[in-house]
Structure 1
Amino acid sequence: MTNAARHAQTHNCAVHLQAEDTRLTLSIFDDGRGVEPKGRTGVGFHSMRERAEELGGKLTIESGAKGGTRVTALLPLLAESETEST
């Protein structure tokens, strides 16, 4: 959220967290200037994508037609039996 305020000239930012049976979805929305559709993403986006993939998940970055950005991380949840064996 700090990067959204610093780089996207955003005034509002919202976080949505949803846990389902096997997946956790974390979405962050802002009303800033958005990102270029085919432009380079910065180190922050690259780092977030790598961390999501290390956890077996996926990160998507989308811009709205009138600006704003949505960053969504889809992360797998471990079953209780999986956490006990690690």
Structure 2
Amino acid sequence: IRHAQAGACRVRFTVDDDSRPPGLVLVIADDGVGLPAAVRPGVGLTSMRERAEELGGTFEAASQPGRGTRITATLPLSIRSET
């Protein structure tokens, strides 16, 4: 996203109560130049994937050249009930 030449970047956090365990979903999307198909993930994307997986989550990066990039990370949540 840092090199995206984007006009806009959206960041959204949601909680997915339907998954087990429930998950915190982080979506970052821009309208920039996108990632060329031939480009391998750099240190930043690789590091984000490793960190999500270390926490038991998932990481996806999807891009269309000229149409932007969308990064989605889902991390498991531990919900505590108040008693």
1:28-67 alignment, distance < 5 Å: 28-64=28-64, 66-67=66-67
Matched-pair contact (CA < 8 Å) for 2:52–2:58: yes
State, as a whole percentage, how many aligned pairs show the same letter.
Answer: 51
1:55-76: per-residue Cα shift (whole Å, max 9, x none)?
A: 1001000013642000000111
Q: How many residues align?
A: 77
Once superposed, what is the RMSD of the aligned Cα atoms? 1.7
User: What are structure 1's unaligned runs of at least 5 residues?
Assistant: 82-86
Q: Does 1:20 align with 2:16?
A: yes
The Cα shift of 1:11 comes to: 1.4
Correspondence for 2:6: 10
Between structures 1 and 2, the one with greater helix share: 1
Q: Which residue of 2 aligns with 1:84?
A: none
AA matched with 2:73 = A
Distance 1:28 1:16 in 2: 7
The two structures have a TM-score, normalised by structure 2, of 0.81
Distance between the aligned counterparts of 1:7 and 1:42, measured in 2?
Answer: 12
**What TM-score results when the alignment is normalised by the length of structure 1?**
0.79
Unaligned 5+ segments in structure 2 are none
Q: What is the CA–CA distance in structure 2 between the aligned matches of 1:38 and 1:52, rounded to whole Å?
A: 24
8 A contact 2:32–2:66 mirrored in 1: no
